[in-house]
Amino acid sequence: MKGIAVFDMTPSLIAMGRLESLSSLDWRPKASIGLPADMPVMTCPVAAVDADCFRIQNADVNFGFGTIQLKAGLVQSIRVQVNDVQIFWLADMTDPEVWSAIDKWRRAKNALVQFEVRGEPGEKGHSVFLKPGVPRGSYRNEQFRDMPPPPAERIWRAMTDLADSGMLQQQAESDIEGIPLRRVFVNVLLSERFKPCVDENKLVEMPMHVKPVFRQGIVY
């Protein structure tokens, strides 16, 4: 398993998700049965202390997409909710790598998500895989996929600033009726388009810093 990638932005750390090919994994998880070898796997780093948030057995699960308008451009939010825990991945709305992944998920009628749980000091980590169904039909976000891409550095900075602001955690709403949110996690999706924007010396193997946002449910 690869180490957890985070982006060092003093004083906080931004969690990095990635899109990996299923064939690149060291083993074939049970959740991937029936999926093609080139299936994109969307990853999310998880600190060991938060592992209990990602118990997926018999969980209520929702998978969806949204649009966030920033001054730098449009951001696509990819959301997964597992019971009362919601996870965001932020991506450039025009990123062809992201749209290619979405197209493959739609053809397969499922996405594949890997929660990479880092072990406690001296212990090995582990991965939890989720195979959520994806929405059917056309997506409203598709009208933006062929728009001129914004400058990479500008939209990257805007996404990391948003991830670091805590705004999504404060404004998030549950996608599952009757289940209020307890925790919200936010990743920035590190695609090939943005690798030149990241200082490789600041990509480190460590748990992401997580500060509890809620005490009793969502704050509006």
Whether the per-residue pLDDT at 120 is higher than 80: the answer is no
User: How confident is the model over 36-95, as pLDDT tens digits?
Assistant: 999 999 999 998 889 889 888 889 999 999 999 999 999 999 999 999 999 999 999 999
Whether the per-residue pLDDT at 206 is higher than 80: the answer is no
The segment with the largest mean pLDDT, out of 45-54, 150-159, 198-207, is 150-159
Q: How far is it, in rounded angstroms, from Cα 189 to Cα 15?
A: 9
**This prediction's pTM:** 0.85
98 or 205, which is more confident?
A: 98
Residue reference for tokens 């796997």: 41
**pLDDT, position 145:** 94
196 by DSSP, 3-state: which?
A: helix
Please give the full DSSP string across 7-49, using - where no structure is assigned: EEETTEEEEEE-EEEGGGSSS--GGGTTS-TT-EEEEEEE-GG
**pLDDT, position 214:** 31
Q: How far is it, in rounded angstroms, from Cα 205 to Cα 76?
A: 26
Inter-CA distances, 43 with 3, 72, 209, Å: 11, 25, 17
